[in-house]
Amino acid sequence: MNTYVKHLPADERRAVTVEAVVELAGSQNPSEITTAAIAKHMNLTQGALFRHFPTKDAIWQAVMEWVAERLLARIDCAAQGIESPLAAMQAIFMSHVEFVAEHPGVPRMMFGELQRAEQTAPKRIVQTLIQRYGERLHRLIQEGKACGELSAALDTEAAATLFIGTIQGLVMQSLLAGNVERIRHDAPRVFAIYQRGIRSAQ
């Protein structure tokens, strides 16, 4: 149990705020998360939030930076030391799914940011994140083709698109079922089909 303290240093308070938003997004529509709800969830008054963030958008920016940093670190860690490109892709997939299962609000926040018409700072962060994610996938797929694990005729871009879309599909199913745990259960089964679609014929 975390001992409850009222006064926190600014950087810690910002960190707690980000965690509060990520948690809230797991159980409610990200676009409906108000500053009052954030404050309430972390036992703070609404006005106090603006001691640490100039605007609400700055809160979202911090949240998306947190997501980008954690997610990329996690998939890099998962792929580290794995020789086989296909096995590395599987490790990335599973670690990504694990991340999503731990923080089910994350993909919903990301999708919500991408929907925004204006080009905001948090939206740009999400775009950069997915771009970097895509670069890693591209590299692995190329390596997989080179070493013969993946079909030489494979469409690299389409394979990367399908990789990310597969996770998005899992999220959608969990929203439908209202059950986050389902993601962990479905992920290996869905990835098996994806893998069959990209690897070279034996």
- Asked if 4 touches DNA (CB under 7 A), the answer is no
C-alpha closest to that of 85 among 22, 136, 32, 28: 136
Could you give the CA distance from residue 163 to residue 69 in angstroms, rounded to a whole number? Answer: 20
Residues from 132 through 171 that contact a second copy (CB under 8 A): 151, 154-155, 157-159, 161-162, 164-170
Task: From 2-10, 90-98, 111-119, 172-180, give the range in contact with DNA by CB under 7 A.
Answer: 2-10
Kindly tell me which of 14 and 75 has the beta carbon lying closer to a second copy.
Answer: 75
Q: Which two tokens stand for residue 6?
A: 């009222």
Q: Which does 28 bind (CB under 5 to 8 A by kind): DNA, a second copy, none?
A: a second copy
How many Å apart are CA 174 and CA 165, to the nearest integer?
14
Q: Which is nearer to DNA, 36 or 192 (CB)?
A: 36
Q: Cα-Cα-Cα-Cα dihedral of 93, 98, 102, 105, to 10°?
A: 20
For a second copy, which stretch binds (CB under 8 A), given 37-45, 54-62, 71-79, 109-117?
109-117
* Residue 192 near a second copy by CB under 8 A: yes
As measured in angstroms, the least distance from the Cβ of 191 to a second copy is 9
Contacts of 114 (CB under 8 A, 6+ apart): 123, 126, 127
